[in-house]
Structures are given as C-alpha cells and as structure tokens.
Amino acid sequence: MYIITGGAGFIGSNLVRALNRRGIEDILVVDSLLETKKINNLADCKIADFVDLEDFRDQLLSDRVSHSVQSVFHQGACSDTMATDGRYVMSLNFDYSKLIYHWCQEREVPLVYASSASVYGAGLIFSEEPENEHPLNAYAFSKWLFDRYVNDHFSSRKAQVVGLRYFNVYGPREDHKGRMASVAWHFFNQYRSEGIVKLFEGSGGYESGLQQRDFIYVGDAVGVNLYFLDHPQISGIFNVGTGKSQTFNEVARAVINGCRQHDGEEPFSLSQLVSEGIIDYIPFPDALVGKYQSFTEANISSLREVGYQEKFLDVEEGISHYLSERLN
C-alpha cells in the first residue's frame, strides 16, 4: 500500500493519478474534506481507501495503520502563507509531520514529504544550506523547522527520507485552493471572466510585472516524487523548481495568448496587452509588505547530482499544457 497525505489536494491528487498510470491503485488517501471541492480531484482516480487526517493521526498514535506500507508521500499541510493561527499551522505542519516521520523510521518505510521554497524568505540565494533560510511567515517557519528536525535526525535514519522544497507549482487540480491557487490559475480566471489580468505594481526593487518566480508545472513536480520512489537509496532535502525564474508578465502573456489562440484570435505582445488594458497593474497590498518573495530561482544542482536529469517545462510550455486541460 502507498499512503498519500493531502491526496485530495493539488500535488497529492496529481500524484495519485500518476501512480494510477503506473497501474498502482492500492493507495490510501489521507485528507480533510471540509472543503468538498477536493472531491473533484479524486473523481477520476482509483484508490483503495480514504481516511480523514484527524482519524489518521489517531491511527498512527495507536499503531492501527497497516504494516504493509511500501512508501509514504506526505503532501498534506496548511499552505496558507497568510495564516495567523500559528498554533494550528504548527500542529498540522510540524507536529503531524514529526509523527509521520517517526512512524516511517520505526518501520523502515520510505518517506517523501513536501517542504517549500518559502523557507528562503526574501533571500537571493536558493540552495539548500541553512545560511540561506529566512522564513517570513508561520507557514514558512513550520516547513523550515521540520526540515531542520529531519536534518538533526539524518545520521540516525533507518529508511529513506526526502524533503522536496517546491517552488511555485501550477497546473490542473488546484481549483479548490482559491486565494492560495497559483498565479496562472488566477490569471486564467480573471481573463475568462473579466477580459483583463491584474498584476502587482512594482515592489521589492522590481518594476511592475517584473517580479520573478521559479514557476514549475505540477507534472514536473510529480515526476520528481516518482524519481525518489524509484530510488529509495537516496535521501536528502532538494529544491524542486525549473532552475530558471520568469516574470509575472511572462505568465500573464502566456495565459492570455493561450486563451486568445483557443478563441481564434492573434497573440499580442506585452506592450499591446498593456496598451489595450488587458494587463492592468494594481497597487501592491499593504498586507504583503515584508512577507513577499519578489524573486525566486531554484538552484537544482543537488537534484541533478543525485541523478534526476529530466527536462523541466518553461512557463510557455507548462501553461500550454495547463490550458489544454482547462479549455478542451
């Protein structure tokens, strides 16, 4: 059996589908369905069982989880970077993660878990060394602290443990995320409903729309998970991004022109999109001052060094894949 926490969520449900494509259906999904939109993410998936995340915590504590588990993918978390209830964030992201970690180690079960590039904060160096880590919010702090916990216990591990520091992931099955969905999702919905896309004005020393992130297509993020499933001898914490930052302007243009192409319209240049008012720059929110990453770019040398050589899609390629599912 394979266990996927957060298996009804964004990356988790894409991982379920990827395992299904391998012919694997003996999957236990752990999640909360308080947000019922997540059900749509599993409607075309084949799983063996579903357990609520709180019931699963009780099962772990009372040792009532099957001992025939082959691997655990711990994707579940409170991912709201604006969350103000630090106790809740730490309970779910740190305490729960420690519980799963020790359960896996005691039974020598491989564990691949979701970390986050948010641990780097407003820094400009994105490689997996402690001196580069400066979390700016409760979510980032919880992920950073669990990474440190794993590193502190690394030499005594009995089974594979891999932390994946996801950069900005986008793609299918993120509708339920709402405000926390990717910018690609927001841009698509804005354009289809209003005919315009709203970007932030200049911030963090960057001109309007020129803030840069490392945007990675969800299929590529899933591919990294499967690589470590296939290579249980490898452990460590690794960045999961393309290694190339691109601007919010580029994402917006790719989304808009992808929609225009679908509608039989000619693509526009960035200057045309701005002059036509299709791209609109809005004031930077006060609530994000000091909590916003204006630039990210994954250093993926550690991932390459352990043998992962697959090519990552750039924004134009990834958005094309994304829109083919949304528009067809």
Kindly name the residue from 2, 96, 101, 139 that is annotated as catalytic.
Answer: 139
How far apart CA 182 and CA 172 sit, in angstroms, is 10
How far apart CA 56 and CA 65 sit, in angstroms, is 8
How far apart CA 296 and CA 242 sit, in angstroms, is 11
Transcribe 250-280 into DSSP letters: HHHHHHHHHHHHHTT-----HHHHHHTTSEE
74 and 5 Cβ atoms separated by less than 8 Å: yes
How far apart CA 58 and CA 221 sit, in angstroms, is 30
**Helices and strands in the chain: count of H runs, count of E runs:** 12, 13
How far apart CA 172 and CA 202 sit, in angstroms, is 29
Kindly name the residue from 98, 177, 244, 291 that is annotated as catalytic.
Answer: 177
198 assigned to active site = no
158 assigned to active site = no
Per the listing, tokens 């927001």 go with 186
Tell me which residues are annotated as active site. Answer: 139, 177
